[in-house]
Amino acid sequence: MKVRRRTFIKAAGLTALSVAGGKAVAQRYDAESWLSTGGLKAKRWAMVIDLRKCNEQHGCTDCINACHHTHNVPKFEDRKHEIKWVWKDSFEHAFIEQENEHIPEELKRSHVLMLCNHCDNPPCVSVCPTQSTWKREEDGIVMMDWHRCIGCRYCVVACPYGSRSFNWVDPREHISEINPDFPTRTKGVVEKCTFCEERLAKGKLPACVEACRKRFAGGEDTTPALIFGDLEDPNSEVRQLLKANFTIRRKPGLGTEPEVYYIV
Protein backbone atom coordinates (compact mmCIF):
# COMPACT_ATOMS: atom_id res chain seq x y z
CA MET A 1 0.00 0.00 0.00
CA LYS A 2 1.25 3.39 -0.93
CA VAL A 3 1.17 5.87 1.92
CA ARG A 4 0.31 9.34 0.73
CA ARG A 5 1.89 12.28 2.44
CA ARG A 6 -1.42 13.56 3.80
CA THR A 7 -2.37 10.17 5.24
CA PHE A 8 1.03 9.91 6.82
CA ILE A 9 0.79 13.34 8.44
CA LYS A 10 -2.69 12.58 9.72
CA ALA A 11 -1.56 9.30 11.20
CA ALA A 12 1.53 10.88 12.74
CA GLY A 13 -0.57 13.66 14.25
CA LEU A 14 -3.06 11.19 15.67
CA THR A 15 -0.28 9.07 17.13
CA ALA A 16 1.29 12.09 18.81
CA LEU A 17 -2.10 13.11 20.16
CA SER A 18 -2.90 9.69 21.50
CA VAL A 19 0.49 9.44 23.18
CA ALA A 20 -0.03 12.80 24.85
CA GLY A 21 -3.67 12.29 25.70
CA GLY A 22 -3.56 8.52 26.00
CA LYS A 23 -3.17 8.35 29.72
CA ALA A 24 -6.00 10.74 30.54
CA VAL A 25 -8.33 9.18 27.99
CA ALA A 26 -7.58 5.65 29.13
CA GLN A 27 -8.18 6.58 32.74
CA ARG A 28 -11.47 8.27 32.05
CA TYR A 29 -12.61 5.34 29.96
CA ASP A 30 -11.55 2.88 32.68
CA ALA A 31 -13.24 4.88 35.36
CA GLU A 32 -16.58 4.56 33.65
CA SER A 33 -16.55 1.43 31.52
CA TRP A 34 -16.72 -1.01 34.43
CA LEU A 35 -20.06 0.51 35.47
CA SER A 36 -21.65 -1.14 32.45
CA THR A 37 -19.28 -4.01 31.64
CA GLY A 38 -18.69 -5.28 35.19
CA GLY A 39 -15.40 -6.48 36.63
CA LEU A 40 -13.14 -9.54 36.47
CA LYS A 41 -14.80 -12.76 37.56
CA ALA A 42 -13.52 -16.20 38.50
CA LYS A 43 -14.76 -19.31 40.24
CA ARG A 44 -11.65 -19.52 42.41
CA TRP A 45 -9.02 -16.80 42.46
CA ALA A 46 -5.49 -18.02 43.12
CA MET A 47 -1.92 -16.77 42.83
CA VAL A 48 1.31 -18.38 41.72
CA ILE A 49 4.57 -16.79 42.87
CA ASP A 50 7.71 -17.72 40.97
CA LEU A 51 10.36 -17.29 43.66
CA ARG A 52 13.21 -17.80 41.18
CA LYS A 53 12.07 -14.86 39.12
CA CYS A 54 11.21 -12.80 42.17
CA ASN A 55 14.68 -13.25 43.66
CA GLU A 56 16.38 -12.42 40.38
CA GLN A 57 15.08 -8.88 40.93
CA HIS A 58 17.34 -8.45 43.95
CA GLY A 59 15.57 -6.54 46.71
CA CYS A 60 12.66 -5.45 44.50
CA THR A 61 9.69 -4.20 46.53
CA ASP A 62 7.53 -2.89 43.69
CA CYS A 63 4.58 -5.13 44.58
CA ILE A 64 4.72 -4.20 48.26
CA ASN A 65 4.94 -0.49 47.50
CA ALA A 66 2.04 -0.68 45.03
CA CYS A 67 -0.19 -2.58 47.44
CA HIS A 68 0.60 -0.50 50.46
CA HIS A 69 0.08 2.75 48.60
CA THR A 70 -3.18 1.59 46.99
CA HIS A 71 -4.64 0.55 50.32
CA ASN A 72 -3.23 3.25 52.58
CA VAL A 73 -1.24 0.78 54.64
CA PRO A 74 0.72 2.69 57.31
CA LYS A 75 4.46 2.30 57.85
CA PHE A 76 5.88 1.97 61.36
CA GLU A 77 9.49 1.88 62.46
CA ASP A 78 8.43 -0.06 65.55
CA ARG A 79 7.92 -3.73 64.58
CA LYS A 80 5.30 -4.15 67.30
CA HIS A 81 2.94 -1.85 65.39
CA GLU A 82 3.73 -3.18 61.93
CA ILE A 83 0.80 -3.44 59.48
CA LYS A 84 1.40 -5.71 56.51
CA TRP A 85 -0.69 -6.84 53.57
CA VAL A 86 2.22 -8.10 51.44
CA TRP A 87 5.68 -8.67 52.88
CA LYS A 88 8.93 -10.61 52.54
CA ASP A 89 10.71 -12.93 54.94
CA SER A 90 13.37 -15.63 54.79
CA PHE A 91 12.72 -19.05 53.27
CA GLU A 92 13.01 -20.83 56.61
CA HIS A 93 10.46 -18.53 58.21
CA ALA A 94 8.04 -18.88 55.32
CA PHE A 95 8.35 -22.63 54.90
CA ILE A 96 8.77 -23.99 58.41
CA GLU A 97 9.04 -27.81 58.30
CA GLN A 98 9.70 -27.80 54.56
CA GLU A 99 13.27 -26.54 54.79
CA ASN A 100 16.29 -28.63 55.69
CA GLU A 101 19.93 -28.03 56.33
CA HIS A 102 21.12 -28.95 52.87
CA ILE A 103 18.79 -27.12 50.52
CA PRO A 104 20.50 -25.03 47.83
CA GLU A 105 22.33 -22.06 49.21
CA GLU A 106 20.41 -19.55 47.05
CA LEU A 107 17.11 -20.93 48.34
CA LYS A 108 18.30 -20.56 51.92
CA ARG A 109 19.21 -16.96 51.26
CA SER A 110 16.11 -16.21 49.22
CA HIS A 111 13.31 -13.92 50.29
CA VAL A 112 9.76 -15.16 50.12
CA LEU A 113 6.90 -12.86 49.26
CA MET A 114 3.90 -13.50 51.45
CA LEU A 115 0.29 -12.33 51.66
CA CYS A 116 -3.05 -13.67 52.82
CA ASN A 117 -3.39 -17.18 51.41
CA HIS A 118 -7.15 -16.90 50.90
CA CYS A 119 -7.43 -20.42 52.26
CA ASP A 120 -10.16 -22.82 51.24
CA ASN A 121 -10.59 -23.61 54.93
CA PRO A 122 -9.81 -20.28 56.56
CA PRO A 123 -9.37 -20.68 60.32
CA CYS A 124 -9.77 -16.91 60.79
CA VAL A 125 -13.33 -17.03 59.49
CA SER A 126 -14.67 -19.59 61.91
CA VAL A 127 -13.42 -17.67 64.96
CA CYS A 128 -14.82 -14.25 63.96
CA PRO A 129 -17.74 -13.42 66.28
CA THR A 130 -19.19 -10.65 64.07
CA GLN A 131 -18.75 -12.13 60.59
CA SER A 132 -16.44 -9.27 59.73
CA THR A 133 -14.42 -11.80 57.81
CA TRP A 134 -15.86 -14.51 55.61
CA LYS A 135 -15.08 -16.56 52.54
CA ARG A 136 -16.91 -15.27 49.50
CA GLU A 137 -18.70 -18.24 47.94
CA GLU A 138 -18.52 -17.00 44.31
CA ASP A 139 -14.76 -16.76 44.05
CA GLY A 140 -13.17 -17.89 47.33
CA ILE A 141 -11.76 -14.52 48.43
CA VAL A 142 -11.46 -14.22 52.22
CA MET A 143 -13.16 -10.87 52.67
CA MET A 144 -13.02 -8.14 55.30
CA ASP A 145 -15.87 -5.90 56.41
CA TRP A 146 -14.05 -3.15 58.30
CA HIS A 147 -17.35 -1.68 59.40
CA ARG A 148 -18.10 -4.68 61.56
CA CYS A 149 -14.69 -5.47 63.03
CA ILE A 150 -14.71 -5.02 66.81
CA GLY A 151 -10.98 -5.62 67.19
CA CYS A 152 -11.18 -8.80 69.26
CA ARG A 153 -8.10 -10.17 67.39
CA TYR A 154 -9.26 -13.82 67.46
CA CYS A 155 -8.51 -13.95 63.73
CA VAL A 156 -4.98 -12.65 64.27
CA VAL A 157 -4.35 -15.56 66.61
CA ALA A 158 -6.15 -18.09 64.40
CA CYS A 159 -4.25 -17.28 61.21
CA PRO A 160 -1.19 -19.58 61.01
CA TYR A 161 0.51 -17.35 58.44
CA GLY A 162 0.73 -13.99 60.20
CA SER A 163 -1.39 -12.46 57.47
CA ARG A 164 -3.44 -10.27 59.77
CA SER A 165 -2.34 -7.09 61.51
CA PHE A 166 -4.02 -5.15 64.28
CA ASN A 167 -4.04 -1.37 64.46
CA TRP A 168 -2.69 -0.60 67.93
CA VAL A 169 -2.49 3.12 67.16
CA ASP A 170 -4.20 5.47 64.71
CA PRO A 171 -2.72 4.58 61.31
CA ARG A 172 -3.46 7.91 59.62
CA GLU A 173 -0.36 9.74 60.83
CA HIS A 174 1.83 6.94 59.55
CA ILE A 175 0.73 7.03 55.91
CA SER A 176 3.13 9.18 53.94
CA GLU A 177 0.87 9.79 50.95
CA ILE A 178 -2.85 9.11 51.29
CA ASN A 179 -4.65 7.50 48.35
CA PRO A 180 -8.05 9.26 48.38
CA ASP A 181 -9.78 6.37 46.59
CA PHE A 182 -9.50 3.87 49.40
CA PRO A 183 -10.46 4.38 53.06
CA THR A 184 -7.84 4.03 55.78
CA ARG A 185 -8.58 1.97 58.84
CA THR A 186 -8.70 3.16 62.44
CA LYS A 187 -7.13 2.20 65.71
CA GLY A 188 -8.77 -0.98 66.97
CA VAL A 189 -9.49 -2.86 63.73
CA VAL A 190 -7.73 -5.76 62.03
CA GLU A 191 -6.66 -5.63 58.41
CA LYS A 192 -5.22 -7.82 55.68
CA CYS A 193 -5.00 -8.38 51.92
CA THR A 194 -8.30 -8.94 50.09
CA PHE A 195 -6.82 -10.03 46.72
CA CYS A 196 -7.76 -6.47 45.65
CA GLU A 197 -11.42 -7.34 45.40
CA GLU A 198 -12.21 -3.63 44.94
CA ARG A 199 -9.95 -3.54 41.87
CA LEU A 200 -11.23 -6.83 40.44
CA ALA A 201 -14.74 -5.35 40.66
CA LYS A 202 -13.53 -2.55 38.41
CA GLY A 203 -11.86 -4.85 35.91
CA LYS A 204 -8.30 -4.41 37.20
CA LEU A 205 -5.75 -6.97 38.32
CA PRO A 206 -4.46 -6.85 41.90
CA ALA A 207 -2.08 -3.93 42.48
CA CYS A 208 0.88 -6.21 43.30
CA VAL A 209 0.40 -8.25 40.12
CA GLU A 210 0.12 -5.13 38.02
CA ALA A 211 3.32 -3.71 39.55
CA CYS A 212 5.18 -6.97 38.90
CA ARG A 213 3.99 -7.01 35.28
CA LYS A 214 5.27 -3.47 34.81
CA ARG A 215 8.62 -4.50 36.25
CA PHE A 216 9.01 -7.36 33.79
CA ALA A 217 7.42 -5.61 30.80
CA GLY A 218 10.71 -4.13 29.57
CA GLY A 219 12.85 -7.27 29.92
CA GLU A 220 13.52 -10.27 27.64
CA ASP A 221 11.13 -12.58 29.46
CA THR A 222 7.96 -10.61 30.07
CA THR A 223 6.26 -13.26 32.24
CA PRO A 224 6.18 -11.71 35.70
CA ALA A 225 6.90 -13.44 39.01
CA LEU A 226 3.33 -12.95 40.22
CA ILE A 227 0.56 -14.66 38.27
CA PHE A 228 -3.07 -14.34 39.19
CA GLY A 229 -6.06 -16.17 37.78
CA ASP A 230 -8.88 -18.67 38.00
CA LEU A 231 -7.91 -22.01 39.50
CA GLU A 232 -11.11 -23.63 38.24
CA ASP A 233 -10.36 -22.73 34.65
CA PRO A 234 -8.05 -25.41 33.20
CA ASN A 235 -6.82 -22.97 30.54
CA SER A 236 -5.89 -20.20 32.92
CA GLU A 237 -2.28 -19.10 33.31
CA VAL A 238 -2.19 -20.25 36.94
CA ARG A 239 -3.33 -23.74 35.98
CA GLN A 240 -0.78 -23.92 33.18
CA LEU A 241 1.98 -22.96 35.60
CA LEU A 242 0.82 -25.44 38.23
CA LYS A 243 0.82 -28.15 35.60
CA ALA A 244 4.29 -27.36 34.27
CA ASN A 245 6.09 -26.70 37.58
CA PHE A 246 6.49 -28.27 40.97
CA THR A 247 4.95 -25.92 43.51
CA ILE A 248 4.74 -25.78 47.29
CA ARG A 249 2.40 -24.02 49.69
CA ARG A 250 2.93 -22.69 53.20
CA LYS A 251 2.21 -25.11 56.09
CA PRO A 252 0.30 -27.63 53.98
CA GLY A 253 -0.08 -30.00 56.94
CA LEU A 254 -2.62 -27.77 58.62
CA GLY A 255 -5.32 -28.50 56.07
CA THR A 256 -6.12 -24.85 55.44
CA GLU A 257 -5.59 -25.33 51.67
CA PRO A 258 -3.81 -22.06 50.80
CA GLU A 259 -4.48 -20.59 47.36
CA VAL A 260 -1.05 -19.01 46.98
CA TYR A 261 1.39 -21.39 45.29
CA TYR A 262 5.17 -21.06 45.13
CA ILE A 263 7.53 -22.19 42.37
CA VAL A 264 10.90 -22.62 44.16
For the range 127-136, what are the long-range contacts, defined as Cβ-Cβ under 8 Å and sequence gap of 24 or more? Answer: 127/154, 127/155, 127/157, 127/158, 128/154, 128/155, 129/154, 132/190, 136/197
Residue 185 is a binding residue for ligand HEC (CB under 6 A): yes
The DSSP code for 143 is: E
Binder of residue 178, out of another protein, ligand HEC, none (CB less than 5 to 8 A by kind): another protein
Per CB under 6 A, the list member of 82, 92, 99, 198 interacting with ligand HEC is: 198
Closest to ligand HEC by CB, 65 or 186? 186
Which option in another protein, ligand HEC, none does residue 145 bind, with CB closer than 5 to 8 A by kind?
another protein
Bridge partners (DSSP) of residue 48 are 227, 261
Q: Which does 70 bind (CB under 5 to 8 A by kind): ligand HEC, another protein, none?
A: none
| Range 139-158, binding ligand HEC (CB under 6 A) | 146-147
Q: If you ran DSSP here, which 8-state letter would residue 160 be given?
A: T
Task: Measure the CA–CA gap between 237 and 159, rounded to whole angstroms.
Answer: 28
Residue 138 interacting partner from ligand HEC, another protein, none (CB closer than 5 to 8 Å by kind):
another protein
Site for another protein in 116-175 (CB under 8 A): 136, 138, 143, 145-147
- Nearest 5°: phi and psi at 34? -65, -25
Shortest CB 260 distance to another protein, Å: 21
User: Which distant-in-sequence residues (6+ apart) come within 8 Å of 11 by Cβ?
Assistant: none
Binding site for another protein (CB under 8 A): 35-36, 136, 138, 143, 145-147, 178, 180-186, 197, 201-202
